[in-house]
Amino acid sequence: MTIPAWTEHFGAEGDRLGAMTDRLAAADGPADAAGTWPAALWSILTDSGAMRWSLPVEIGGDACPRPALIERYARAAEGSLTAAFILTQRDAAVRRLRAASDRIEACRWLGEIAAGRAFTTVGISQLATSRRAGAQALKAVAPAPGVYHLKGMMPWVTAAERADVIVTGAVLDDGRQLLIAVPTDRAGLTVGPSFPLAALQASCTAEVACDDVPVSEADVLAGPAIDILSTLGMVGPGGLETSALALGQARAALAALRVEAPARDELAEPAEALAEAWQGLWADLIAGARGEPDAAPPAQIRGRANALVLRITQAYLTARKGSGFLLTDPAQRWARQALFFLVWSCPGPVAQAAIRDLAGLCSA
């Protein structure tokens, strides 16, 4: 069985990315077992230059084009899904700050982030896919022009305990939405304890409560507008970045399955079939990232990526037999983590298709 190849060719940078993946893989098991902030994983990402990938060139960033960024995320996920998940949530906030770079506060935060003096993350699931109180989970009340008070909660915020500023979304009484950069030291904002997740516990994902948190016009990144995420053309749920993480983790399990296959004839044909499926889907993902006109829709790619990462990680767990079920074995960790793609920013149609597939029903 041949391990599928990556698409981009980075030269010396490719060697650094390979070293990053190896280092992340070595640190991922201990981070998963500890379930606390994964300082070692974050240090590896920082040392590998990952903090620059999404930042603009003018403040020392790499401003990676989307195909290259997609592959870098996948390579990070191949080493550690926890590390890649935290990074993509941080970068999602960075993208939204960049989109508001004509605003003074957004520029200030970008400068602080680039200098390593501030950490950001995103808390907009209430406007996207979260069913916990829906889009009304976080409301913005306007007692005076240019002044807002945030009331409610951000249901899911990754690395909330580390954040200096959270990019979030709130709904006004008339249904219009705001995108806001909220400092975490603002009065009335409380970060809850990390959720006891079945996997990715070290991502320190928590609920953030807002009790009349004051924000000014300077904190607003965009809006008010109806369906602000679509209005701004932002990467939404089911985006290619999430699919890239699924395929990165799937590739790690494929590589491990390759180690098992030579000594076990019964694994050769399934392993080769899974590798071919991975390579085909990766090509489709990169085509989408390049914006090719005949590329598959992101939601279709996400559904296929979900199914494939589940199949590959469970195939490896099955191949490992009882040993794979030990907490010390990566097989059980990858299988648990793969389940996350069924619930993380998973659009309704993708989730419904998955349920129908699990029920053995054919979609029309």
Residue 292's CB is within 10 A of a number of other CB atoms, namely: 11
Q: Do 135 and 108 fall within a single domain? A: no
Q: Do 244 and 284 fall within a single domain? A: yes
Mean pLDDT, residues 296-316 = 94
CATH no. for residue 141?
A: 2.40.110.10
Q: How confident is the model at residue 128 (pLDDT cuts 50, 70, 90)?
A: confident
Q: Do 109 and 202 fall within a single domain? A: no
What pTM did the predictor assign? 0.92
Which residue range(s) make up the domain with 124?
Answer: 120-231
Last residue of a domain, one of 231, 264, 293: 231
Q: Do 76 and 107 fall within a single domain? A: yes
pLDDT digits (tens, 9 = 90+) for 107-121: 999 999 999 999 999
Rounded Cα–Cα distance for residues 316 and 293 (Å): 35
Q: Do 197 and 244 fall within a single domain? A: no
Rounded Cα–Cα distance for residues 214 and 50 (Å): 33
7: closest CA among 89, 56, 74? Answer: 74
- Decide if 363 is inside a domain: no
In the prediction, which pLDDT does 364 show?
43
Domain total in the chain: 3
Residue 314's CB is within 10 A of a number of other CB atoms, namely: 17
CATH no. for residue 24?
A: 1.10.540.10
- Which is more confidently placed, 85 or 347? 85
Phi, psi of 31 (to 5 degrees): -65, -40
Q: Do 105 and 55 fall within a single domain? A: yes
- Determine the Cα angle at 157 with ends 151 and 163, to 5°: 95
- Which is more confidently placed, 5 or 11? 5
Three-state DSSP state, 139:
strand
- Which is more confidently placed, 142 or 83? 83
Q: Do 185 and 162 fall within a single domain? A: yes
In the prediction, which pLDDT does 259 show?
87
Range with the poorest average pLDDT among 200-204, 266-270, 358-362 = 358-362
In the prediction, which pLDDT does 234 show?
47
140: closest CA among 179, 189, 100, 99? Answer: 179
Last residue of a domain, one of 171, 197, 231: 231
Is 129 in contact with 237 (CB distance < 8 Å)? yes
Q: How confident is the model at residue 106 (pLDDT cuts 50, 70, 90)?
A: very high
Q: Do 312 and 353 fall within a single domain? A: yes
- Decide if 2 is inside a domain: no
Q: Do 345 and 253 fall within a single domain? A: yes
Last residue of a domain, one of 62, 95, 114: 114
Strand boundaries in the chain, DSSP class E: 120-123, 138-144, 147-157, 165-171, 177-183, 189-194, 206-216, 220-225
Which residues, 6+ apart, have CB-to-CB distance to 93 below 8 Å? 120, 121, 122, 165, 166, 167
Does residue 361 surpass a pLDDT of 60?
yes
In the prediction, which pLDDT does 231 show?
59
Phi, psi of 150 (to 5 degrees): -95, 130
